[in-house]
Chain A
Amino acid sequence: MPTAPAPLSRRALLRATGAGLATAALAGCGDPTSAAGRSSVRFFQNKPEVIEYFAALVAEFDAAQDRVQAVHDSSQTPLVPQFVRNAPPDLAAWNYNLEVGGYVSTGVLTDLSDLPEAQRVDPKYQSLVDQFARNGGETNVLPYSVTSAGVIYNARLFEQNGVAVPQTWSELVAACQTFRAAGVTPLYLTAQEVWTLQQGLFDYCTGSAVDVAGFFADLRAQGTDAGPDADVSFSKVFAEAAEKMVELASYANPDSASRAYADGNLAFGRGEAAMYLQGPWALGEVSKVDPALPLGTFPLPMTEEPGQAAARVNLDLALWIPTASQEQGAARTFLQWLMGPKVIARYNDDNLATSPLRDAAPLQDPRLVGLQPALDAGRIYQGASTYVPQSIPVGNYLQDAVRTGDGGQLLRRIDEDWARLAARSAA
């Protein structure tokens, strides 16, 4: 029978065991080791559709030189914890959004402005980066792939009903009425999935009507005075756009409230509606349903002046190097190779996107060429919903607005949430 140890020593044992376990648990995180004298670069890229593409690209780079070894990390690990552990990737090719904007403004990304590649980026695309966040005069993020979106339309239904691509708001409404009179659903909405309302209906309607980047710059400058009655508010600046938006939504399929993104692609591919508010990512899905269906895209007109409609753009991929990377030189070498004119052009041609470099080739795909004039003229915007922090559930408010037809309430709710957020952030 064991004799009970003295209480003190028992406690000491407990403490020692606890400390030992904790040490063992924390020892899991090791340093990346470079293989055979080559610097190893962890390249973070996890957009599912192009993982294989980049895997081949990484292999090509590794074979082309013997100083840097790029290691492709295509895991879906969130970025925040990687920064929290102070172990971010050495180089990332990732969607540029408000989250990455947060990394820019907190100063955890390196300045790339001294690279010759940074000078070759078209300023109209580089400025998209600054619209979300800035870190002094630094260039922390280089655009890699620009996707542009507008209204996808069924060219066959347009032709059959004698409707031309609308250039003004009135023409758009007239087109909807023509389709409705002919028994064709003018517009297909998938309101069950709120992101589809956000990126399509809300962003298109506001983007062609309002200087989105300017509005959000003013709104941020206004600080804590925000709210529906403030000088700069959604309720004031977006009022007309929101009215037109709910009017447009009234031409949607009657069962839109219970339709999801996949339902929309299927229905549109079957020719059940004339227009569809989705980005180029939906084109492949729609064409899968009916490869022969003639599709086109036009920027949504919101004014009475022809040629004013703008295209929604998105930096689908952008490159950045964290300051915490131990392999700055090697990461820059790989970044420069990726930014090579041929490599970057090949990627964008293959993925229905536009290269952000100066004098890049225009869009080739017949389904997207309708957006090229807007891109050439610089009539581009990043969607208004992408400027709003995710803590404000814009998509859910939109769902209500589409159902009730009350655009004013939508804007008031966003204003009030924005004011609360501003008050909290400034406290």
Chain B
Amino acid sequence: MATTAAPSSRGESPRGRSSRGRSPQPDDLSVTRSRAARRRPDGVSYLFLLPAIVLFTVFITLPALAGAFISLTDYVGFGEWRFLGLANYAVLFTDPNVLQSYGFTIGFSVVTVVLVNVVALVLALGLNARIKLKTALRGAFFLPMVVSGIVIAFVFNYLFSTSLPALAATLGLTGLEQSLLANPDLAWIAVVLVTAWQAVPSALIIYLAGLLAVPEDVYEAAALDGATAWRQFWGITLPLVSGYVVINTVLGFKNFLNAYDIIVGLTDGGPGTATRSVAMTIFTGFTSGDYAYQMANAVIFFVLTVVISVLQLQIIRRRGVSL
């Protein structure tokens, strides 16, 4: 079948032009067929999807379904087990440790998302301006992203436990002589700071890309109208990068809800249970023989994450941006 025939008059029409590049130009007889072909993609594209579908199904979907079933039992992974129905779920909602971990994780995520976005946007504005050493500074700010979370956590653990109190003692700053990490009311601040320190670079990259997309001429027009830098930021920059704010919020929130490695290295959930995240609580199920119960916790967490994601996707659609 020849599809390289010269474009027909229909092919020149605006409609035909708009579809160019998406599919081969239809020859004169195939209007209906080409529509059908557009609706039902080529069989080859399924073949390309196949490895991903198979891997995703075998390693994500099936284990997740198995986990959801196990959450209805008292199975520990081996040996005999009984079907419990929703008993695990019933206990879950009365377990203060589980409830506290949800409270901490959600609060921590909200605060961290706000902090990361504010800091990243400010840094992006700075790094986007005409300054010296721009490339070197960008490199320096991206550095935390390539260091593993657990390494960062251990380094900051030492700084918070040893260096900072020693410094405070030398400077006579009472109140900072005790480690932040040892104070159950303040330890979350340390967790937020360290998580933000690592998370800012990836948000920064997205904001830098966003700022590059803002055309220069709108600023020139604003300057001619006598707008101050502050007014330009609120009136031009922020509205034009708002799509990127949404993206950073969605991606960041998803990551922070799953917080694990930095907290383990920093506080290990302490002092007491003050900074135990949901992911850490779920993970205890693997070591404590509490597998089925924490699977129930994982299912609840999954539902919660889905609800939050759907809400965020709604916002994204309304904003007209795509991930």
Contacts and interface: CB of A to CB of B under 8 A. Distances in A.
Interface stretch (B108-116, B130-138, B143-151, B284-292): B284-292
A56 to B, nearest CB: 31
A21 B58 contact: yes
Contact of A400 (B78, B91, B272): B272
Interface string B271-294: 111001000000011111110011
Given A4-B43, A400-B271, A258 B80 contact: no
Interface string A77-112: 000110110000000000000110010001110000
A106 B79 contact: yes
A397 B273 CA distance: 7
B269 A396 contact: yes
B261 interface: no
Interface in A326-344: none
Contact of A390 (B96, B270, B284): B284
Contacts of A399: 270-272
A14 B45 CA distance: 12
Nearest to A107: B79
> Is the contact region of chain A dominated by helix, strand, or loop, or is it mixed?
helix
Contacts of B57: 18
A48 interface: no
Contacts of A22: 58
A192 interface: yes
User: Is the interface on chain B under 10, 10 to 19, 20 to 34, or 35 or more residues?
Assistant: 35 or more
A21 B59 CA distance: 12
A260 interface: yes
A102 B289 contact: yes
B165 interface: yes
B270 A396 contact: yes
A4 B270 contact: no
Contact of A389 (B54, B289, B294): B289
Nearest to B285: A391
B181 A258 contact: yes
Interface residues of A, number: 46
Contacts, number: 121
A231 to B, nearest CB: 23
Contacts of A5: 43
B32 to A, nearest CB: 16
A417 B99 CA distance: 13
Interface in B210-239: none
Given A102-B289, A396-B276, A420 B76 contact: no
A194 B181 CA distance: 13
A18 B43 contact: no
B272 A390 contact: no
A258 B50 contact: no
Given A1-B3, A389-B288, A424-B293, A83 B178 contact: no
A80 B57 CA distance: 24
A84 B291 CA distance: 13
A18 B53 CA distance: 9
Contact of A83 (B43, B54, B77, B271): B77
A192 B273 contact: no
B50 A14 contact: yes
B284 A391 contact: yes
Contact of A84 (B77, B95, B273): B77
Nearest to B84: A427
Interface string B43-60: 110100010001001100
B184 interface: yes
Nearest to A324: B78
A192 B181 contact: yes
Interface centre among A106, A393, A420, by most chain B C-beta atoms within 10 angstroms, is: A393
A90 to B, nearest CB: 17
Interface in B161-216: 161-162, 165, 178-179, 181-182, 184
Contacts of A424: 74, 87-88, 91, 293
A416 B3 CA distance: 75
Nearest to B269: A396
B309 interface: no
B184 A425 contact: no
Contacts of B303: none
B268 interface: yes
Given A17-B50, A391-B290, A400 B182 contact: no
A423 interface: yes
Interface string A1-15: 110110000100010
Closest 9 CB pairs of A and B: A257-B182, A390-B288, A258-B179, A106-B79, A400-B272, A391-B290, A427-B87, A258-B161, A391-B288
13 contacts: A1-B1, A17-B54, A22-B58, A81-B77, A83-B79, A99-B289, A107-B79, A108-B78, A191-B182, A389-B288, A390-B287, A399-B272, A423-B91
